[in-house]
Structure 1
Amino acid sequence: MTAEEPLGRLDDDDYPAFTMGRAAEMIGTTPAFLRAIGEARLITPLRSAGGHRRYSRYQLRIAARARELVDQGTPVEAACRIIILEDQLEEALRINAEFRRAAAGPDAGAEGR
C-alpha cells in the first residue's frame, strides 16, 4: 500500500466515508429518514467494524433525491420506487445508445474480436 492510496479514496464516489449523523446533516434530513430509505432498500449503507452505518457520496445523492420527492409530498416508499425506476430507465437508455452506436459504426461486427 502506498501513501497515496488513502487519499485516492477521497475521489471515490462509492467509498463509505460518512457516518449517519454527518450524512443526515449534509442532506438536511434526519437519521430516521436515512433508516427509512434503507428499509425501503433504496440504499444499503456499509457497516463499520462497530456496526455503525457509513454512507458514500453516491448514496447521499440518491438520499437527497428521495428527500426532494418526499418534500414535494411523495410518500417515502413511493419516492424510493420512483428513484429505482428512474435509475432503471437511465440504464436502459444507456444500453440502447450503446447498441445504436455499435449498429451504426463501420466496425460494428469487429467489437467481439
Structure 2
Amino acid sequence: MTPAQKMLSDIAQNGLHGVDHEYIIYLAKAIWYYDLLPDLGALDGPFRNDVGYFSDSLAHFSVLPAEQSRKLRAALLPYKPAAPCDDPDLNDPLAREWHSSCDIMPFYADILQFQTRHYAAGWPR
C-alpha cells in the first residue's frame, strides 16, 4: 500500500475531522502535481464520502489542469450520493452533496500555499 493509499484509507475510516493536517497537505500535492486519482471503490469505511468530497474539492482548484480535473471528477462521480444531505452544520454545498462529515475549510490554510502557480512551476509534471 502506498503512503497516499494509506492516508486515503485512514480518512475513510476516521473522517476528515480526525486526520492529521500533514495528510491533507500530502494528498493535495499528490492530486495536484502527481496525478493521484483516488479509487473510492477500493476504500472501505464509514467516511468514504469524506474522501470523495475532499478529492472533488481539490478538483475545483485552478492549479489542477482542466483535463486532470475532468478525469478526477469522472472517477469520483459513480460514488457521489444521488441527492445532497440536509446537514445545517455543513457550510460548503459540495460537502452536503457528498454527505461529508465536515467541510474542508479548516484545512484551507494548510493547502493554499501549495496551489499557487508560482509553487506549481517548481514541480515536475
TM range (shorter): under 0.3
More strand by share: 1
Compare relative contact order (CA 8 Å, sep 6+) and give the higher one, 1 or 2.
Answer: 2
Could you say which structure has the larger radius of gyration?
1
